[in-house]
Amino acid sequence: MNRIQQAFEKEGKLLNIYFTAGYPALDSTVPMLKALSKAGADLIEIGMPFSDPLADGPVIQQSSTVALQNGMNMRVLFTQLKDIRQEVPETPILLMGYLNPVMQFGVENFCREAAAAGVDGVILPDLPLDDYVDEYQETFRRYNLKPVFLITPQTAEARIRRIDELTDSFLYLVSGPGTTGGANTQAVGVQEAYFQRIEAMQLRNPRLIGFGIADKASFQQACQYAEGAIIGSALIKALDGADDAPAAAARFVSSVLN
């Protein structure tokens, strides 16, 4: 059983927090990870900043731009994460980003470095399923990295079943139309039929709902339809103007959970 599966053994709902590596400062990555884990985040996604993040709204775009200006790149990130499992032994860590920086770093290099750092899963929204199977799956498996795929209200049933077969982690249910950080909060209720349809499919993997989940209320609402939810943009926003970003991140997590 991998760390992600272990996390889902827990009683109650799971909170998955996304933050951008190298934001707000280049060396924020590790302090943020520690603070989020300690504050009670059940899973953590580290965003690998990209110049052209198509699936992301303005908040994560802006944090990515700042992180790149701070000098974040794949090599720096893996150096920062080298000893992370001594600091954060249990919490599953996933890397989320776009395919091009991974391609340029080299898939083999990327998987080797990620596995060495103790990363558990990878989310690359612009990696097509067929290309994953043909070109990436073998390498991911060799390094025991779990891919996470997105599902939307428009994803057809056969495709959802295929996605479910391709991983042993969780399914990322996009809450509704839009990029990250959008106003899907109210839409969670509207999408009830979609969430229930997925639930009724009796899939192998647990489900987390993401996009537009911003606070305790929307987190709890999403948790009615899944094993937990994912928050990204709202966390990044909570760091705005904070002198101590990890402390602000911890306060944000507490505000969602308590």
Partner 1 sequence: MTPTTYKEPTARGYYGQFGGAFIPEMLYPNVEELRSTYLTILADPEFQREYQQLLRDFVGRPTPLFEAKRLSKKYNTRIFLKREDLCHTGAHKVNNTVGQILLAQRLGKTRIIAETGAGQHGVATATVCALMGMECIVYMGSVDMERQRPNVERMRLLGAEVRPATSGSQTLKDATNEAIRDWISNPVDTHYIIGSVVGPHPYPDLVARLQAIISEEMRKQLLEKTGSELPQYVVACVGGGSNAAGAFYHFLDEPSVKLVAVEAAGHGITSGHSAATSVLGKPGIIHGSRTLLMQDEDGQITEPYSLSAGLDYPGIGPLHAYLAAEGRAQFISIEDEQALRAVAECSRLEGIIPALETAHALAALGQLGAGPDDVVVINLSGRGDKDLETYMKYADTIH
Q: Which residues bind partner 1 (CB under 8 A)?
A: 50-52, 54-55, 57, 61, 65, 68, 73-74, 98-105, 125-128, 130-131, 149-152, 154-156, 159, 174, 177-179, 182
Measured from the CB atom, the residue of 93 and 174 that comes closer to partner 1 is 174
Catalytic residue among 9, 27, 42, 45: 45
Residue 88 CB, nearest approach to partner 1 (Å): 25
* 73-96 as b/e: b if 16+ CB within 10 A: bbebbbebbeebbeebeebbbbbb
Quote the DSSP letter at residue 114: H
In the annotation, is 56 catalytic?
yes
Q: Which of residues 209 and 248 has its CB atom nearest to partner 1 in the complex? A: 209
CA–CA distance, 124 with 77 (Å, rounded to integer):
16
Residue with Cβ nearer partner 1 (57 or 121): 57
Cis peptide before 24 (omega within 30 of 0): yes
CB of 80 to partner 1, least distance (A): 15
Judge whether 165 counts as a catalytic residue. Answer: no
Nearest distance, CB of residue 4 and partner 1, angstroms: 19
By beta-carbon proximity to partner 1, the closer residue of 126 and 168 is 126
Q: Other C-beta atoms within 10 Å of 64: how many?
A: 26
Catalytic residues: 45, 56
